[in-house]
A = this chain, B = another copy of it.
Amino acid sequence: MQDWLAAQAYATPEGIALIAEGEHWTYRTLHQRVGQLAGALHRQGVRPGDLVGTLLPNSAAYVFLTHALARLKAVLIPLNTRLTAAELGYQLRATNAQYLIFAESYREISTGLGDLVTLCALDDLMRMDAVPIMEGTVDLDALQAIVFTSGTTGYPKGASITFGNQFWSALGSAYRIGTLPDDRWLCCLPLFHIGGLAILMRCCLYGTAVVLQNGFEVEAVTTAIRQHQVSLISLVPTMVYRMLKQPEAASALSQVRLVLIGGAATSADLLERCAALKIKASPTYGLSEACSQVVTMLPEEARRKPNSVGKPLLFSRVEIVDQNDQPVPPNTYGEVVVSGKTIMAGYYDDLQATDRVLREGKLHTGDIGYLDEDGDLFLVQRRSDLIVSGGENVYPAEVEGALCAHPAVEAACVVGIPDPEWGQRVGALVVLKPDADLSEADLLGFARQRLAGYKQPRVLHFVPALPMTASGKIQRRLAAEWLKDHAHDQG
* Residue interface bits A368-408, CB-to-B below 8 A is 1, else 0: 00000011000000000000000000000000000000000
CA distance A179 to B177 in the complex (A): 9
Bound Cα distance A170, B214 (Å): 35
Chain B positions within 8 Å of A375 at CB level: 10, 13
Interface residue A312 (Cβ < 8 Å from any Cβ of B): yes
Closest to A315 in B: B7
Would you list the 3 A-B pairs with minimal beta carbon distance, nearest first? A178-B180, A11-B314, A175-B206
- Nearest B residue (CB) for A12: B311
Instruction: Let me know if B10 and A312 touch, CB within 8 A.
Output: yes
Task: Note all chain B residues with C-beta closer than 8 A to A374.
Answer: 13-14
A10-46 interface code vs B (CB 8 A; 1 in, 0 out): 1111100000000000000000000000000000000
Per-residue CB contact flags for chain A residues 161-196 toward chain B (1 = under 8 Å, else 0) read 000000000010011111111010000000000000
A276, CB-defined interface residue at 8 Å? no
Provide the bound-state CA to CA distance between A205 and B172, in Å: 10
Q: Which B residue sits closest to A313, measured CB to CB?
A: B11
Can you list 19 contacts pairing A with B, beta carbon distance less than 8 Å?
A: A1-B315, A7-B314, A8-B314, A10-B375, A11-B176, A11-B312, A11-B313, A11-B315, A12-B311, A12-B314, A14-B374, A171-B171, A174-B174, A174-B179, A175-B207, A177-B181, A178-B178, A180-B180, A205-B314
CA distance A205 to B10 in the complex (A): 25
Which size class do A's interface residues fall under?
A: 20 to 34
A428 adjacent to chain B (CB < 8 Å) = no
0/1 string, A109-144, CB within 8 A of B gives 1: 000000000000000000000000000000000000
0 or 1 for each of A286-300: is its CB under 8 Å from B? (1 = yes): 000000000000100
Contact check, B174 vs A11: say whether CB atoms are below 8 A apart.
no
**How far, in angstroms, from A181 to B299 measured CA to CA in the complex?**
11
- Report if A317 contacts B (CB, 8 A): yes
In the bound assembly, the distance between CA atoms of A313 and B205 in angstroms comes to 11
Contact between B11 and A311, CB atoms less than 8 A apart: yes
Contact A179 B178 (CB under 8 A): yes
Interface residue A2 (Cβ < 8 Å from any Cβ of B): yes
A10 and B317 contact, Cβ closer than 8 Å, known pairs A180-B180, A181-B298:
yes
Which residues of chain B are near A205, meaning CB under 8 Å?
Answer: 175, 314
Identify 13 new A-B residue pairs, CB closer than 8 A, beyond the known A7-B315, A11-B176, A178-B178: A2-B315, A11-B311, A11-B315, A12-B311, A12-B314, A13-B375, A174-B174, A178-B179, A178-B180, A178-B181, A180-B180, A181-B298, A207-B314
Residue from A174, A312, A313 whose CB has the most chain B CB atoms within 10 Å: A174
How distant is the Cα of A176 from the Cα of B10 in the complex, in angstroms?
A: 12
Cβ-closest chain B residue relative to A317: B10
A491 to chain B, nearest CB (A): 45
Contacts of A8 in B (CB 8 A): 314
CA–CA, A175 and B375, complex, Å: 28
Chain B residues near A312 (CB-CB < 8 A): 10-11
A232 → B minimal CB distance (Å): 12
Among A292-324, those with CB < 8 Å from B are 298, 311-317
Contact with B along A202-231 (1 / 0, CB 8 A): 000111000000000000000000000000
Nearest CB on B from A325, distance (A): 21
Q: How far is the CA of A10 from the CA of B180 in the complex (A)?
A: 24
A214 to chain B, nearest CB (A): 28
On chain B, the residues within 8 Å of A179 by CB distance are 174-175, 178-179
Q: Which residues of B contact A181 (CB under 8 A)?
A: 176-178, 298
Q: Which of A134-158 contact B (CB under 8 A)?
A: none
Q: How far is the CB of A356 from chain B (nearest CB, A)?
A: 27
Output the residue of A207, A314, A315 with the most chain B CB within 10 A.
Answer: A314
With a cutoff of 8 Å between Cβ atoms, the chain B residues found around residue A176 in the complex are 11-12, 181, 207
Chain B residues with CB under 8 Å of A206's CB are 175
Question: Which partner residue on chain B sits nearest A178 by CB separation?
Answer: B180
Q: Tell me, in angstroms, the Cα distance from A174 to B316 when the chains sit together.
A: 19
Question: How far, in Å, is A333 (CB) from chain B's closest CB?
Answer: 22
Q: Which residue of B lies closest to A314 (CB)?
A: B11
Q: For residue A205, which residue of chain B has the nearest CB?
A: B175
